[in-house]
Amino acid sequence: MDGQYLSHSSSYAYGSEDWPEFYDLWVESLLGTGPCEDIPVFRSALKRRVAECNGVHTINVVDIGTGTGRVIKDLWQEPNGSLKGVSFWGLDNAQAMLDRAKLTFSVSEATHRSESSDRPARLLPIWVQAPAADFTSHLPELVGKTDLILFAAGGIGHLTADDEVIGFLTQVRQALRLPEHSELPRAVISVLYEMIPEKNPDLAVEQRRGGTGLPSGEALDGDYKIPSRDHTGVMYSKSPTVSQWSHDVRTDSFTIKIVKHRAGQEGEVFKEKDVAWSLRIFDEKAFKDAVEKSGLRIEEVREGETQRWYFLAPSGARK
């Protein structure tokens, strides 16, 4: 089950082979090159797991909707070899994103190793194509063996199909280690304020009018252009986003053009594609009900500048 592919099929932005590099460049232009605000949150959760497990077993960390691997690549840089024995799993249902994650991670790791001869040996990340609501079927080896599950950057908002959220949470419960273990496995789920009604009062207004603008304040007066780093003479061009509502689901659509420039000539568009994704408004009551029905409980809620994190643990596990 994957609501994005069901809704958008081949036009789903993250499934496009031309999307991954543009995505990385776009996110960098919006958020900068440093670790985002979620990395300290995830890093503290991971350090806690390392301390609790105390080397008893390999610590499996699963990053759902890993995209191009941002979270894993940032967590991987933990100093002093303290992540020895930690195994990272990057899961995404878009193979093009995973391909870029694997490539950029390999390049980054090779660079770090060339700069530091005493860099400790570590378990390399495993990149797997799998949908959020059915990931244990693709990775049965993680059932009852997962110590930390991360779902970053409001990714849960992309679970728009009927029962997709409870399907995902059920998968979380199946993957986490059993409650009788002395240590407490957890999942950390991000929800963007952009999709939380009490944090973004404009949501109701957008819904009523059908909406053509984004709460992020994206300009609607021209294309956004950014040069490729991977391909010389290539420019990406993104049209302004158009948003449409269907009940509590917002679909964002835009056009990506790939423009090739040659010396002394105007740029030529050699590829153009209309793409889209959807986001569902966050219903906290429905989420809490789904958490309970899935055999989980909310252990902690933490607020950031742009998002909220829910820390989940198996029901019945000690606090």
Tens of pLDDT along 228-253? 999 999 999 999 999 999 999 999 99
Question: Per-residue pLDDT for 317 more than 90?
Answer: no
Q: Which residues contact 267 (CB under 8 A, 6 or more apart)?
A: 235, 259, 260, 261
Mean pLDDT, residues 268-273: 89
- Is the pTM higher than 0.95? The answer reads no
pLDDT at 220: 47
Q: What is the DSSP string of 167-205?
A: HHHHHHHHHBPPTTSSS--EEEEEEEGGG-TTT-THHHH
pLDDT at 80 over 80: no
What is the band of 267 on the pLDDT scale with cuts at 50, 70, 90? confident
Burial class (CB within 10 angstroms; exposed 0-12, middle 13-18, buried 19+) of 78: middle
pLDDT at 115: 62
> For strand 307-314 and strand 268-280, is the pairing parallel, antiparallel, or unpaired?
unpaired
Q: Which pLDDT value is given to residue 147?
A: 94
pLDDT at 112 over 70: no
Q: Check whether 221 has a pLDDT greater than 70.
A: no
Task: Tell me the per-residue pLDDT of 154-169, one tens digit each, with 9 for 90 and over.
Answer: 999 999 998 999 999 9
Rounded-to-integer distance, Cα 43 and Cα 71, Å: 10
* CA separation for the pair 50, 300 (Å, rounded): 19
Average per-residue pLDDT in the chain? 87
For residue 269, the model assigns a pLDDT of 87
Q: Quick one: how many helices (H) and strands (E) in the chain?
A: 9, 12
pLDDT score for 178: 77
What CA dihedral angle connects 140, 143, 149 and 155, to 10 degrees? 50
Which of 8-22, 85-99, 114-128 is least confident?
114-128
Identify which of 91, 205, 102 has the alpha carbon closest to the alpha carbon of residue 149. 91
Residue 119 φ/ψ, nearest 5 degrees: -65, 125
Work out the percent of the chain whose per-residue pLDDT is above 70: 86
Choose between 55 and 12: higher pLDDT: 12
Whether 34 has a pLDDT exceeding 90, the answer reads no
The whole-angstrom separation of Cα 182 and Cα 53 is: 9
Which band of pLDDT confidence, cut at 50, 70 and 90, is reported for residue 119? low
Instruction: Read off the pLDDT of residues 204-216 as tens digits, 9 standing for 90 and up.
Output: 778 777 655 544 4
User: Stretch 299-310: mean pLDDT, rounded?
Assistant: 96
218 has a pLDDT exceeding 80 = no
pLDDT of residue 3: 78
Q: Residue 217: pLDDT band by 50, 70, 90 thresholds?
A: very low
Pairwise CA distance, residues 86 & 63, whole Å: 13
Q: How far is CA 236 from the centre of its chain?
A: 22
- Count of residues for the chain? 319
Nearest alpha carbon to residue 275 among 64, 8, 11, 67 = 11
**Integer Cα distance of 199 and 244 in angstroms:** 20
Question: Cα dist. 209→186, 203, 212, 240, 246 in Å?
Answer: 40, 10, 9, 18, 11
Phi, psi (rounded to 5 degrees) for 195: -110, 15
Q: Between residues 179 and 227, which one has the greater pLDDT?
A: 227
Q: Is the confidence at residue 81, as pLDDT, over 50?
A: yes
Q: Is 69 left (phi over 0), alpha (psi -120 to 50) or beta?
A: left
The arithmetic mean of pLDDT across residues 255-269, rounded, is 82
Can you tell me the mean pLDDT for 13-32? 90
Instruction: Taking residues 39-61, report their average pLDDT.
Output: 88
Reported as a single tens digit per residue, the pLDDT across 125-148 is 999 999 999 999 999 999 999 999
Does residue 222 carry a pLDDT above 80?
A: no
The confidence band for 189, taking pLDDT boundaries of 50, 70 and 90, is very high
